[in-house]
Chain A
Amino acid sequence: MAPALVWLTALMVVPCALVLALAFFRRGIYGGIDYTFTLENFGLVFDPLYAGIFLKSARIAGTATLIAVVIGYAAAYAIAAAPRRWQPVFLFFAVLPFWSNYLIRTYAWIVLLNREGLITQLLRWFGYTGEPPSMLYTEGAVIAGLVYNYLPFVILACYAPLSRLNPELAEASRDLGASAATTFRRVILPLTVPGIAAGAVFVFVLSIGNFVTPALLGGGRFQMIGNLVYDQFLTANDWPFGAALAMALIAIMLLVLMAQAMAANRASGRAAQAAGGTDG
């Protein structure tokens, strides 16, 4: 037990503490670090230029999350509604693509969205003769890549509560005169909020710090927080600012995780009520 803890302390706790400390130092004149205490780096995070990148990252990650949740929930619902013995099979195949390399899955989208890619080919085949549409190196391509890469996890996260739903609840709701839409909105959806929240947080957190997808599908023209951190460390050699950006990224993640915990708590309270718990 001890060697593992030593390993984790030496190669995780210490380096992470180091990055935290770095954020409070000045950048040296020739790169490197000047060991004078400063809060400038955190101030710079709120500079309109960088704050703009934060907002843009949040917007891209938020859009990807929304789309992934809608598609993922629909898929999870359909799987949960399939015959029992087929459900594990569907679930397995829904997660299988997730087990291949992230870069390869992203590259697959370059192949599809390329000027001469499959989508352009399909359009031609349907009689389209104009310029190939520019789909690669756009914000839409980045969002598509993020949705594609993280969708399997949303399906898993939403399937768990959906498969555990008591069918009698939906029947009861219908017997009491609720339409299918009302039953979904007032019974099924609230009971599955924890799954949705877990899936959404996963997509959002991984998307907002991502730098590979914007670099490959955005063609380097789309800076997100991850790319900014990458640049500060590997190009601009401004480690203190890069460290401050990383801390800001972690702060956003913690906020999102706290929001999720709160949503899950409220939903579980409601679930207890809906299930006729005496503590409700």
Chain B
Amino acid sequence: MAERSPTTRRTLWLVLTLVFAFLYIPIAVLVALSFNEGGLPTAWSGFSLRWYVSLAHNSAILSAALNTLIVALVSTAIATLLGTLLAIGVEMRRQYGKGLEALIFAPMIIPDIVLAIALLSFFSMINLTMGLHTIILAHVVFNLAFVCSVVRARLKSFDWSIVEASADLGASALTTFRRVTLPVILPAVIAGALLAFTLSVDEFIIAFFTAGAGRASTTLPMQIYAMIRFGITPEINALATIVMAVSITALTLSQRLNRGIIGQ
């Protein structure tokens, strides 16, 4: 943009400072409190890791973390496989209809709560007992959409003639996929998988509705929700800090592999 007066420039910097303060102060307070001996926001009583230690001894949280990991790993694996194949299928045949496009994008647009109640109604109508497996089935639905769109973006610049060349040279479809197509799109596949994993780790509403009764299928976000509703314990600060660190690391990695929507 054009050159600006010093007053304008100062105003712009002030706006940036205020917005970043607004975005980061709540998170910073949370992280700081997780290291506070007393744990309550009332006063700083010294640095301590005791809330992290007590997390490590909280069996409810550990089992919720394990459930989350199972759900995220399994649903990511299924979604990455199916989503990648879907992306290749769609991009190879360019003459797909609007209906297919809508079907693929729909899970990213439908409000969580609507998909959640739809799945709850569906599972109970077909008398499927709910638990971790139903959460996995549900998570694949939206993970699939995200993996597919990340991989498709990469395939837009894919040179299909190398696939033809491989076939001409006598490679089977599987060999072509494994040795030609996959290596080219691998960064996008990994980026999509990381995105799916993070979304699954963080997802709350759909898991909440499709988990069924009983504590056995409680995931970490469900556990966090319950902890917040039942009253604030300083343990949440430590848990929040860890979950935040994991999500942000995974997504930063995903962005890098995908050469970012941001930063281009």
Q: Chain A interface (Cβ within 8 Å of chain B)? A: 1-5, 7-9, 11-16, 18-19, 22, 71, 74-75, 77-82, 88, 90-97, 99-112, 114, 116-118, 121, 148, 151-152, 155-156, 165, 167, 170-171, 180, 205-206, 209, 211-212, 215-216, 226, 229-230, 233-234, 239, 242-243, 246, 249-250, 253
Contacts and interface: CB of A to CB of B under 8 A. Distances in A.
Contact of A19 (B26, B114, B243): B114
Nearest to B106: A12
Contacts of B244: 100-101, 104
A79 B252 CA distance: 20
Given A78-B15, A233-B120, A99 B198 contact: yes
Given A97-B24, A100-B247, A250-B111, A216 B228 contact: yes
B57 interface: no
Given A14-B122, A111-B33, 11 more contacts: A4-B85, A19-B117, A71-B22, A74-B15, A74-B19, A91-B263, A95-B262, A110-B228, A112-B25, A151-B23, A209-B114
Interface string B85-113: 11011100000000010011011001111
A19 B121 contact: yes
Interface string B134-148: 000110110010001
A101 B106 contact: no
A75 B120 CA distance: 40
Nearest to A227: B113
Contact of A107 (B100, B117, B228): B228
A215 B225 CA distance: 10
24 contacts: A12-B106, A16-B110, A16-B114, A18-B121, A71-B19, A75-B19, A80-B1, A81-B4, A94-B20, A95-B262, A99-B251, A100-B202, A101-B243, A102-B204, A103-B228, A108-B26, A112-B25, A114-B41, A121-B41, A151-B19, A151-B23, A211-B205, A234-B209, A239-B121
A249 B23 contact: no
B16 A82 contact: yes
Main secondary structure of the interface of B (DSSP, over half): helix
A100 B41 contact: no
B86 A5 contact: yes
Contact of B15 (A75, A109, A242): A75
Contacts of B90: 1
A77 B141 CA distance: 36
Nearest to A162: B1
Given A74-B15, A79-B16, A107-B30, A246 B137 contact: no
Nearest to B104: A8
Given A99-B247, A99-B248, A242 B138 contact: no
B40 interface: yes
B236 to A, nearest CB: 6
B118 interface: yes
B140 A7 contact: yes
Contacts of A249: 111, 113-114
A168 to B, nearest CB: 9
A11 B143 CA distance: 13
B89 A1 contact: yes
Given A3-B85, A111-B41, A253 B138 contact: no
Given A101-B202, A167-B2, A250-B111, A18 B86 contact: no
Nearest to A103: B224
A4 B83 contact: yes
A92 B221 contact: no
A107 B90 CA distance: 41
Contacts of A121: 41-42
A150 B141 CA distance: 23
Contact of B29 (A88, A96, A108): A108
B115 interface: yes
B25, B41, B137, B224: residue with the most chain A Cβ atoms closer than 10 Å: B41
B240 A107 contact: yes
A233 B141 contact: no
Interface string B217-250: 0000100110011001000110010011001100
A94 B19 contact: yes
A102 to B, nearest CB: 7
Nearest to A106: B228
A170 B2 contact: yes
Contacts of B89: 1-2
B13 interface: yes
Contact of A11 (B112, B141, B240, B262): B141
Contact of B113 (A16, A77, A246): A246
B75 to A, nearest CB: 11
B13, B228, B236: residue with the most chain A Cβ atoms closer than 10 Å: B228
B130 interface: no
A79 to B, nearest CB: 7
Contact of B27 (A19, A92, A100, A209): A100
Contacts of A106: 228
